[in-house]
Amino acid sequence: MSANTYNDSNNTPRLVVLGGGESGVGAAILAKAKGMDVFLSDAGTLAPHYADELRRRGIPFEEGGHTPALILNATEVVKSPGIPPTAPMVAEIAAKGIPVISEIEFGGRYTTSRMICITGSNGKTTTTMLIHHILRSAGIDASLAGNVGRSLAWQVAEEPHDVYVVELSSFQLENMYDFRANIAVMMNITPDHMDRYEYKMENYVRAKFRILQNQQTSDAFIYWEDDPVIRRQLEHVVTEARRFPFAEYEEAGAAAFLDADGRMVLRTPAGEFDIPRDDLALKGLHNLFNSMAAGLSACLMDVRKDDIRRALCDFEGVPHRLENAGTVNGVRWINDSKATNVNSCWYALESMPDNRSTVLILGGKDKGNDYSEILPLVRRKVKAIVAMGKDNAKILDYFGKEAPGIPVADTHSLDSAVEACRAAASGGDTVLLSPCCASFDLFKSYEDRGDRFKAAVKALTEK
């Protein structure tokens, strides 16, 4: 384990940061800028550019392990979201009664900028990017933060903006207490990260609903009206924020919906306007909801209707989310690597044709998946399944029993999965990488999985 020198010679507040990725380094930089005694500790190895940033600013850090004597004297700890609360070092910190917060909580203390915060099991990245695109297109000084873009704390310290569009995972929300979202957006809630939440759905739901804490009467809560989990939880949650639900079709109180003429209607206190659904850049039911949530957010930010309309119609989409990777010999290859849970795969399959022309790639690090949610769509739309992972037993067993007419290939690398897809697909078919699982068994991240998939498809075109 290597550590930089630490000097405990002052009485200033001491902030310890656990985790040396984007959020952790950003928190350390902000703490340094605010005159705190700061120390960063990472059990792994810091990326060289992050280590360089810390050295350049004179911020002490260690990597390769945690030194309790340098951590347990903290006034407060900022924990990176990927570190579970059950981690031994976190448990020791909690036993000492030292407050543990997230980087978003920390960054939010030092800015009065408006916060548009998006969470949900699926669709949050696309919605986040879409809101940001609308605001920037309208000339608003908006920046991305949270799960996408740069660290909020880092930006607050060195590159402040008027508005932050923040994608929030349940992991980030766990350690947020006083942070206030001016606009909170909840796309949906379906089972995800059950391994993190003791396989109890109620724990996951409570974490998601932390996005509403501290909202005031001038704030807004945008959510999917027809999500059964959200509706049920709202019966037990008190929020002062104004509610703006969206739904597929018009319902009482709906602020966004599809009318009988196929036009997306947006309705807020400032007025009402509509956009033909066919003109929207993003296709599919899930993307209709993403467009509704983004459009409502923009309306509540007083963006001109023409600017909203134009931006919703020229948005180019998000990498690794139903991304066209290419067509080879008449077979379309789709990269949906960001589908790391079953519900996200459901939305991808929902957009596929009904003629059983889809070859579906599933697999990776299972997070307590229940595949019954996608079973009807698989039976109706999928001609073959290619399982790709170190251990595919659960996928092979489930679909072997529940969809015996659909062949399932067992592969343990990307190359073998692509070859199995080539063998199963013919002209007019679609190969859909929508794995339902995390990527960490064979890949560094879902981005790495998607990038390597796209590279493999590109290589096919060059053969």
Quick: pLDDT tens for 303-345. 999 999 999 999 988 889 889 999 999 999 999 999 998 988 9
**What confidence category does residue 199 fall into, taking pLDDT thresholds of 50, 70 and 90?**
low
Q: Are residues 18 and 146 in the same domain?
A: no
Neighbours of 232 (CB within 10 A): 11
- Tally the residues of the chain: 463
Considering the domain architecture, whether residues 171 and 304 belong to the same structural domain is answered as yes
CATH number at residue 385: 3.90.190.20
**Residue from 263, 251, 261 nearest 226 by CA:** 251
CA distance 135 to 141: 8
Residues 24-75 have pLDDT tens digits of 999 999 999 999 999 999 999 999 999 999 999 999 999 999 999 999 999 9
| Together in a domain, 138 and 253 | yes
Beta bridge pairs of residue 125: none
Domain CATH number, residue 239:
3.40.1190.10
Count other Cβ atoms within 10 Å, centred on residue 147.
19
Q: What is the CATH number of the domain that holds 78?
A: 3.40.50.720
Q: Same domain for 188 and 273?
A: yes
- Terminal Cα distance for the chain, rounded: 47
Query: In which residue are the tokens 């002052």 written?
Result: 10
pLDDT at 7: 41
End residue of a domain, out of 101, 127, 158 = 101
Q: Are strands 163-167 and 183-186 parallel, antiparallel or unpaired?
A: unpaired
Same domain for 70 and 95, yes or no, is: yes
What tens digit of pLDDT does each residue of 397-449 get? Answer: 999 999 999 999 999 999 999 999 999 999 999 999 999 999 999 999 999 99
Q: 166 with 152: CB under 8 angstroms?
A: yes
For residues 432 and 323, give the distance between their C-alpha atoms in angstroms, rounded to a whole number: 10
Is pLDDT above 90 for 127? yes
Residues 124 and 222 in one domain: yes
Closest C-alpha among 369, 364, 408 to residue 389: 364
Q: What average pLDDT is seen over the chain?
A: 94
Q: Which residues of 252-283 are buried (b: 16+ CB within 10 A; e: fewer)?
A: eebbbbbeeeeebbbbbeeeebbbeeeebebe
Q: Average pLDDT, stretch 256-282?
A: 96
Q: Which of 170, 181, 187 is nearest to 213 (CA)?
A: 181
Q: Give whichever of 109-118, 332-341, 344-353 has the largest mean pLDDT.
A: 109-118
Measured distance CA(268)–CA(273) in Å, rounded: 9
User: In the Cβ-directed half-sphere of 365, how many Cα atoms lie within 13 Å?
Assistant: 14
Does residue 123 share a domain with residue 9? no
Q: Which stretches of 214-351 are assigned E, i.e. beta strand?
A: 220-224, 242-249, 256-258, 263-268, 271-276, 323-328, 331-335
Domain co-membership, 331 together with 301: no
Based on the structure, what is the number of domains in the chain? 3
Q: Is the pLDDT of residue 2 over 90?
A: no
Domain that holds residue 55: 2-101
Amino acid identity, position 244: F
pLDDT > 50? residue 4: no
Do 254 and 270 reside in the same domain of the chain?
Answer: yes
Q: 120 and 81 in one domain? A: no
Indicate the residue among 314, 346, 378 that finishes a domain: 314
Does position 250 have pLDDT exceeding 60, yes or no? yes
Confidence of residue 462 (pLDDT cuts 50, 70, 90): confident
Whether residue 364 sits in one domain with residue 287: no
The whole-number average pLDDT for the span 286-296 is: 96
Residue 3 pLDDT exceeds 50: no
Strands 142-146 and 382-388: unpaired
Q: Which residues pair with 184 in a beta bridge?
A: 117, 221
Report percent pLDDT > 70 for the chain. Answer: 96
For 79, residues 6+ apart whose C-beta sits below 8 A from its C-beta are 18, 19, 90, 100, 101, 102, 175
The confidence band for 5, taking pLDDT boundaries of 50, 70 and 90, is: very low
Domain closes at, from 260, 295, 314: 314
For position 165, what pLDDT does the model report?
99
